Amino acid sequence: MLGIKTILAIVVCLLGINHGHNVMAHALSFHTGHPKQYRVLTAVRKKDEQSNLPQLLYFQNKKIWIVGDSLMVGRDGTKLLKENCPKFISQVSHARVNNDYSFSGAQISGNQQMRTFDLTNNVSKIILDPQFQSADILLLSLGVNDLNYSDNNIGYVQQRLQTNIMRLHSANLNVKIMGLLPFESYMKDKRSYYRLAELRMALTEVYQSFGIPVLNWRQAGFSYDYFSIKDGVHPNSMTYKLMSTTIVNFMVLNRSVMPLDISNQSLFVSNGWQTNEQGQRQYAKNNILLTDWQIIDQTAYYFDPITKALK
């Protein structure tokens, strides 16, 4: 039998879908104990005032795959939550959710040398999974770990996302891909040289170049602050529930997304340091990898002429 918390979560989501374009969902603020309002994007109501609940039934028994980081795994900064986003999405949509390829620490442009789960090596495993060929929807929820823990330049991050979207599309021509932008990061010491807003814009450019719908939490009307996140990165349990509602509504609104447009791809340019999936440190200038001796920021470096890797 469903628990009380699960039933309440489903009721909140269904109320959101049935009451107009935007709804105010109430949650307890963990730092004050007082009711806190979160503005959540909901499914659009038809002009004849009929409920959009039948549109949610579109997802019943659909196969939804999620490739994400610790937010999709369900970490709250101290522990793994049993009531996480994939579980709520499955309960509300009655879809079959596969979250086997979401990992804590996952990055778009990481590498195995850093003990991260980079997207390229992860996708290599996904496309070998015979079940992926029957996936109906793929949610990509990555990027915050590139911001926090990687010094790869932002153009290289875009290139890795673009390349792996094309690989996923080639493995399943019918899968509908949707992009979820990084949620938030209040970490003070980040390794990257760009801001969260710049990363969101860069990832949006890649997704939109394919015609992929993008969930931008702020633009979706999702309201949160520092106290919605326990350790500067991971949401608390109540925020996760509201995030799940927003994701489901986002999928409802974009359920008729067209197949990917790969005919006219944008050129994303890598400028600066990058570490490839084999752990090789390289330096690019306008997509050209440097070789031999180079002076970078008043320091001499030697790059192998064959591998282009730093020695």
Place of tokens 């101290």: 78
* 215 φ/ψ angles, rounded to the nearest 5 degrees: -95, 110
| pLDDT tens by residue, the chain, 311 residues | 445 444 444 444 444 444 333 333 332 222 333 333 333 333 333 343 344 566 778 898 899 999 999 999 999 888 889 889 999 999 988 999 999 999 999 999 976 556 668 999 999 999 999 999 999 999 999 999 999 999 999 999 999 999 999 999 999 999 999 999 998 888 888 889 899 999 999 999 999 999 999 999 988 877 777 778 888 888 888 889 889 989 999 999 999 888 788 888 899 999 999 998 888 999 999 999 999 999 999 999 999 999 999 99
Spell out the residues 6+ positions from residue 33 whose beta carbon is closer than 8 angstroms to its own: none
pLDDT at residue 220, as a whole number: 81
- Residue 186's pLDDT is 86
Residue 218 CB partners (closer than 8 Å, separation 6+) = none
DSSP E strand stretches across 69-213: 96-98, 137-141, 176-180
Helices (H) and strands (E) in the chain, counts: 9, 12
Please report how many Cα atoms fall inside a 13 Å half-sphere around the Cα of residue 147, on the Cβ side.
Answer: 24
| pLDDT for the residue numbered 13 | 47
Single-letter amino acid, residue 261: D
Please name the fold of domain 4-253. Rossmann fold (3.40.50)
- Is 222 in a helix, a strand, or coil? coil
Residue 159: how many other CB atoms lie within 10 Å:
22
Q: What's CA 209's distance to the chain center, in Å?
A: 17
Q: Are 145 and 106 in contact (CB under 8 A)?
A: yes
Among 152, 250, 243, 239, smallest CA distance to 207 is for: 250
pLDDT of residue 198: 96
